Amino acid sequence: MRVVAQGTFDLLHPGHLHYLREARAMGDELHVIIARQDNVTHKEPPLLPDRQRRDMVAALDPVTEAHLGHTEDIFVPIERIDPDRIVLGHDQHHDDDAIRAALAERGIDCEVARAGPREPRYEGEVLSTGTIIDRVCEERC
C-alpha cells in the first residue's frame, strides 16, 4: 500500500512527525510532496527554500521518499507516484470530496483519508511552525 502525505514542513516539529508516522502506519511506503513556496498562499510563505524542506523531510524515519511539489498542477506528482491512499493533515484546508472528485476525473484510483491531531505532551512543547516563528521574534529580535 503506497501512501502520500503533503504539506509545507517549514520548521520541523513533533506535529509533523506525528502526521508522517500516522500516514506511514496507513500503508507500507510513504511518499511526501513538499508544497512549493509560491503555492503557499493560505498562510505566511515558508522561510526555507523548497529543496531544504524536501531534504529534511526525506531524512525522517517514516518517509520512503520526499518529492518537490509541482509548480502549477498538484495532481502531476500524484499521477507519477500513483498512491493507493492520500492522507491529509487533520487541519488542512482541502475539501476531501473535491479531491476525490478530481482524482476520479483523472482516472486515478486512490482513497482519501485524514490523520488525527497531536496535542502537546508537556508544558511548552511547540507544535506549530507559526508559533515557533512568533517565539523567535518575541525572544530573539
| Residue 128 binds ligand FMN (CB under 6 A) | no
Q: For residue 63, what is its C-alpha cell?
A: 518517509
Local structure of 92: helix, strand or coil: coil
- Residue 69 among known ligand-binding residues: no
- Specify the residue, 27 or 109, whose C-beta has the smaller distance to ligand ATP: 27
Half-sphere exposure (Cβ direction) of 136: Cα atoms closer than 13 Å: 8
Work out whether 15 is an interface residue with ligand FMN (CB under 6 A).
no
CA distance 46 to 63: 21
- C-beta nearest to ligand FMN: residue: 69
* Closest to 32 measured CA to CA, from 7, 50, 11: 7
For residue 114, state whether it binds ligand ATP (rule: CB under 6 A): no
Count of residues interacting with ligand ATP (CB under 6 A) = 19
Are the C-beta atoms of 47 and 10 separated by less than 8 Å?
A: yes
> Binding site for ATP: what residues are annotated?
8-9, 13-16, 91
Footprint on this chain of ligand FMN (rule: CB under 6 A): 6-8, 33, 35-36, 39-40, 69-70, 74, 77-78, 86, 89, 92, 94, 99
Binding residues: 8-9, 13-16, 91
